Every structure is written in C-alpha cells, then in structure tokens.
A = this chain, B = another copy of it.
C-alpha cells in the first residue's frame, strides 16, 4: 500500500458539497492531503480542505488542469466533464470511480440500457431524444426522467395524462413503467482495486403516508432475510457488471410480489448511507476512501440500529438559515445532527441530516419521529 498518511500524496475530489465535507472527516482522520474543486467559492468544503480550487466541474480544461495537480482523483457528484477524465486516465492518472463508469451512470438512458444488457432487473422503459417523441406515449401513468443532471428528485415527474406532458423541458429523457412497490430499498457496495468487495446491510426508505416523500432511512430494513439477500445479490451484480472501484449505491424497489427492480445507481457515497457514520463499524465515507485508495475494506456491519432524517429547508423560507428545535433534539440520547455548512436556506434545499441510533430499531424509529416533528430549518 502506498504511503498516504502525513505524506506528499494528494487526493483530488471533484465537488465540494456535503458528501465531500463528510469525506474530509475521514481524510483528516488519516491525514491524507485533500484538494477539492467546486464551482462555488462558499462550497461546504471550501474552508476546511487542505487546498481548494474554484472552477466548473463541467469544463474540460478546468477539470483536466485540476487532475494534473493530484495523485488519485475521485468525485462526490457524477456530473463532471468525462472527456477530461478520460484524457487524464489515458495519461496514467488513477480515477475512481472510473470515467467509463461515470459516463454510463451520469446518463439515465445509458444507465437503463446497461441494466438491460446485463440482465439487471429494472422497470421497462423507453428512451426519447427530444420532447417531441413523448407525444407517442399514450398509455398513462408513467414516470418521466430527464436523462441528465437530475438530482434528489429534480428532473423526475409522474405523467398521468397527455396534459402532464406539457411543459416538460425539451431534453433527452426516459419514460418508465410506474412500479407499485411495497418498499424502496438501497444497498451500498464497496469495491477496491484488488477486487475486494463488501456490501452494507439493506436500508429501507420510509415514505410519508400521503406526501410521497422519503421521511426516514432505516438500517437495517424491516424486511425478511430472503428479500434482503436478494437485494444484496442484485447490488453486487450491478457493482460487478460495472467493474466499479469505489462505492456504488443501488436504489431498488421491492414490488408487491417481492421482486427486486433496480431503480437507479449512484457511483459514490449516498444519502442512504449517512446513518453509517454513527451506526456502522466503518462509515461509508471511510469505506469510500479505503476503496479508492486500494486499502483493505472495513466491516460494514452495524454497531447499533440507525435511522436518518434529512434536514431540508422549509417551504416559505429563504435566506440566512436558522435551525429551530436543536436544543430539544440534543436532549435525546443517540441523536446526532450534521449541519452541512450552507449559510442560506431555500425551500427543499438539503441543509443537513440527523442520525438516530439505538440498540433497538423500533425505539430509534419513535425517536426519529420526535426529531422530525421538532426540528425546523427556517430563515432569520
């Protein structure tokens, strides 16, 4: 293994948001010098990384020049300039996840084709090069997804009638069958250069009963072992088919018939793995670092059960953020807030998350509900 610790080694990260910030906790723990590129000079990582570069992640020259300053390059967001990465890879730079994997995943059409070509179970879909082609769709409902740049539910719409097609942007897109699912599950797979592989336990996204919004991520998922095993096997299959080095988060539907269909994947640390910071032997951020640097992978088991609640900006508030109710939630045992370092809130912006851990998942679930009711992300 290379000498990464307190050495001249330089790790580069494309993207300086909250995922980068939580990765920095680990690079600081290992004292690995970390250089970050982000378009926003006030990005969550800007002040606390070893070296910060401001510039566009989609600009060829910016990404190429940045890559030339580091020894290994990784990402915390998949929307980056792939041509620059391919050139850097050709020139010998280690880039994990690999550019060809990013290229597949950053485009939902290519991602779905990849699933189909590798017998990875997924909902039926059609690709559309432009909005005009959507006029051919006559059976409703279905799900429309922008092929690129969708993030946290943006670029996704349920289409229930021909009227709903109006106003969709004229972009490359896919449409998918709506899956009536019992559960939405996710599995994170880690794989290093040597080919060592570990999967985290299956997590469950619990939705608000009416608002159709994920409220809680629970680990372990409250599903039976056979389903959990199937989900882990499928996630492993996806990671293996991609040959990815690094973390892969696989989001899946558990259908009414206990079929598992892959919804989409992300080639990085993921919101569904944030619970791992407090609950797991090895947090997903440490695991990402271990996998891209070809270190041995850590134990993915839980020490205790974990639940994550996202902190998103409340509707109707924009401006300098204030977290209301923090005092009340800090009174409760096993509650840890993570504040991402964004000074300004706006409706639905991801501002932080709260992890709740407990020996007993049901007790953690009760506490999570209390936390969710108590804390508010508003503006001054």
Contact = CB atoms under 8 A, between A and B. Distances in A.
A341 B299 contact: no
A24 B28 contact: yes
Contact of A28 (B21, B296, B333): B21
A222 interface: no
Contact of A48 (B30, B48, B322): B48
A120 B299 CA distance: 44
Nearest to A325: B1
Interface string A344-357: 00000000000001
Contact of A6 (B6, B29, B343): B343
Nearest to A279: B303
Contact of A296 (B50, B330, B334): B330
Contact of A47 (B29, B50, B342): B50
A330 B290 contact: yes
Contacts of A47: 50
Contact of A281 (B286, B298, B326, B333): B333
A208 interface: no
This chain's copy number in the assembly: 2
Interface in A245-291: 281, 286, 290
Given A3-B322, A341-B31, A357-B303, A327 B296 contact: yes
B337 A30 contact: yes
Contacts of A132: none
A295 B330 CA distance: 7
Contacts of A326: 1, 5, 295
Contact of A50 (B25, B48, B333): B48
A350 to B, nearest CB: 13
A339 interface: yes
A29 B295 contact: no
Nearest to A327: B1
A321 interface: yes
Task: Specify which of A28, A47, A298 lies most central, judged by the most chain B CB atoms within 10 Å of its CB.
Answer: A28
B1 A28 contact: no
Given A286-B336, A299-B333, 4 more contacts: A5-B323, A6-B339, A7-B320, A290-B330
Interface of A: 1, 3, 5-7, 21, 24-25, 28-31, 47-50, 281, 286, 290, 295-296, 298-299, 303-304, 320-323, 326-327, 330-331, 333-334, 336-343, 357
8 contacts: A1-B326, A6-B341, A28-B341, A29-B338, A31-B341, A48-B50, A295-B327, A299-B334
